[in-house]
Amino acid sequence: MKPNDSDPNQGEGDRKSARRYNRKLREFIAQGNVDPAAHEAEAYVEHEPDDAERAERAAKRGPRRGTKVSVDELVAKGRTVIDRVRPLVSRVVARARKRFTK
């Protein structure tokens, strides 16, 4: 039987836990337990907003890597795919042979 005092929106949108976390976070910050690096980052964002936005956009794009792939890399990737798929194909073929030989 469900308890009557529970919040109906518990689960992924757990409001009680979110409130408790936010309250404890505010207390943690108010006590001054924040790392100096966080204060430096805050000062950087406030004083250099354009540079910070540019860095954030670059970080969202992810690491830059060349799109060109060598032939050796393609062959190696193809071999690993074939090695992983081969057992699956052999099981499917064995099941089909078993079913259709009856």
Task: Note the pLDDT tens digit of each residue in 9-18.
Answer: 566 667 788 8
22, 28, 33, 39: CA torsion to nearest 10: 40
Distance CA 73, CA 58 (A): 27
Query: What pLDDT score does 89 carry?
Result: 92
Structural tokens at position 36:
């100096």
Q: Where are the domains of the chain?
A: 14-62, 69-102
Question: What is the per-residue pLDDT across 16-61, written as a single tens digit (0 to 9) for each?
Answer: 888 898 999 889 888 877 888 787 878 877 777 788 788 888 888 8
Predicted TM-score (pTM) of this structure: 0.31
